[in-house]
Amino acid sequence: MIIEGNIPARGWARIRIESGLIQSVEVVGPTADSQPFVAPGLIDIQVNGFAGVDFSEPELTIERALAVLPRIWKTGVTSFCPTLVTNTHEGLKRNFRILAAAFRLYPQFARSVPCFHLEGPYISPGGALGAHNAQNVRWPDWGEFQELQEAAEGHIGIVTLAPELPGAMDFIRRLCASGVLVAVGHTDASAEQIHQAVEAGARLSTHLGNGCPEMMHRHLSPLWAEIAMPELNASIICDGFHLPPDLVNVILLAKTIGRCILITDAVSPATMPPGRYRTLNTEVELLPNNKVVAAGGKMLAGSAASLNHVVEVFLRYTGVPLVDALAAATTNPARLLGADGLCSCIAEGQPANIFMFQPECPNLGITGVYLGGEKVFCARP
């Protein structure tokens, strides 16, 4: 199979695909005006839910987990990390078992899911709690985590935690030794504790600038420490609500584009009509402007954005070249996860996870999506 399109910053190319892999890439001319672009499929490392499905919901079934696939593919995402949030131990085990079964039994789910993300329950019960359930927040427990990893059949690849909790530093070291990516988030840590977490092996800030207290010390805060430390990659929710443009640009200047990772932090109302929805922890309201808040209040409760929209907002906020904005949603998360099956660039030997789009159209104007060389979405029959 041959796909033709503009590769950002490279030109018009012919891409040959065989056996699920990119076999060759031939750039045959300059960028062709009005013709589609082609890029690696988008990678979202934090998806709490999507299109009416909450991965933490007690009603989760294999069928409901699978139902997310066609809806998320059409947004240009070929790889995503289902994310379970703070819950009871039994609730977490139950849903990890369901996700693991979907991974084991359905090849398309396995090809789309590099790993699972556990956000909590080892997070701050204080000002950084966000929409998590304080009753289920607890200290890091290695034995408990091993049970969760067993339920997940070894597929928990990211853990977000608060490094100030008792036992957190040893827990971070154990996670890193087991091959799990450690992220700091929903934390009331001191700057010193952020430094200690990095020394222990943490390499990611989960939704930097969110999941932190509304009021912090103007100098000695975890936010400044996380921004300053080059070892920490920064995932950011650039949906037009979670971060103002100035902070997005400060993060970009400090981290450089190579350590910025765009995420949605999507919850079940994503792509759904405005109204009230129930997530695991609370009732939320999707407003007509696509903002998700806790019902009856103003507190953000996740996002209803798709990753193609996040890329578009990031372009608008920062003015970076298209190739850089795409890297923050493809190359960078692929490098950070280091998982097989992720397409990090359009190059020979890469998995043929690709999306095609018209960048001058809203939300990148996605026209086609390929997963392992198989077309899983087409804007036109």
Residue 266 · residue 305 · CB < 8 Å: yes
Q: What's the pLDDT tens digit per position in 266-292?
A: 999 999 999 999 888 788 999 999 999
Q: Which two tokens stand for residue 294?
A: 């806790």
Q: Does 265 qualify as catalytic in the annotation?
A: yes
Length of the chain: 381
Each residue of 195-227: pLDDT tens digit? 999 999 999 999 999 988 888 888 888 999 999
User: What is d(CA 303, CA 279) in angstroms, rounded to the nearest whole number?
Assistant: 12
- pLDDT at res. 282: 82
Residue 220, pLDDT score: 83
345 contacts 40 by C-beta, under 8 angstroms: yes
- What order do you get walking across the sheet with 275-278 strand by strand? 275-278, 283-286, 292-294
Confidence at residue 151, expressed as pLDDT on a 0 to 100 scale: 98
- Which pLDDT score is estimated for 280? 84
Contact between residue 66 and residue 376 where contact means Cβ atoms under 8 Å apart: no
Query: Alpha helix locations (H) across 179-277?
Result: 191-200, 222-228, 245-255
pLDDT tens digits along 302-315: 999 999 999 999 99
Nearest to 91 by CA among 132, 39, 44: 132
Q: What angle do CA 332, 100, 338 make, to 5 degrees?
A: 20
Q: What is the mean pLDDT of the chain?
A: 96
Question: Which pLDDT score is estimated for 339?
Answer: 82
Token pair, residue 371, equals 């997963």
Question: Which of 360, 377, 367 has the alpha carbon at shortest distance from 31?
Answer: 360
Domain boundaries, the chain: 41-344
Q: What's the confidence (pLDDT) of residue 368?
A: 97
Sign of torsion over alpha carbons 272, 274, 278, 280: positive
User: In 11-152, where does DSSP find H-type helix?
Assistant: 62-73, 89-105, 107-112, 142-151
Query: pTM for this structure?
Result: 0.97
Predicted pLDDT at 188: 95
Collapsing DSSP to helix, strand or coil, 276 comes out as: strand
Using CB atoms within 10 A of its CB, is residue 280 exposed (0-12), middle (13-18) or buried (19+)? buried
Q: Which helix (H) or strand (E) holds 25?
A: strand 21-29
Residue owning tokens 């069928």: 63
Catalytic residue among 44, 188, 239, 265: 265
Which superfamily does CATH assign the domain made up of 41-344 to?
Metal-dependent hydrolases (3.20.20.140)
The residues of the chain scoring below 70 in pLDDT are 381
pLDDT tens-digit series, residues 163-178: 999 999 999 999 999 9
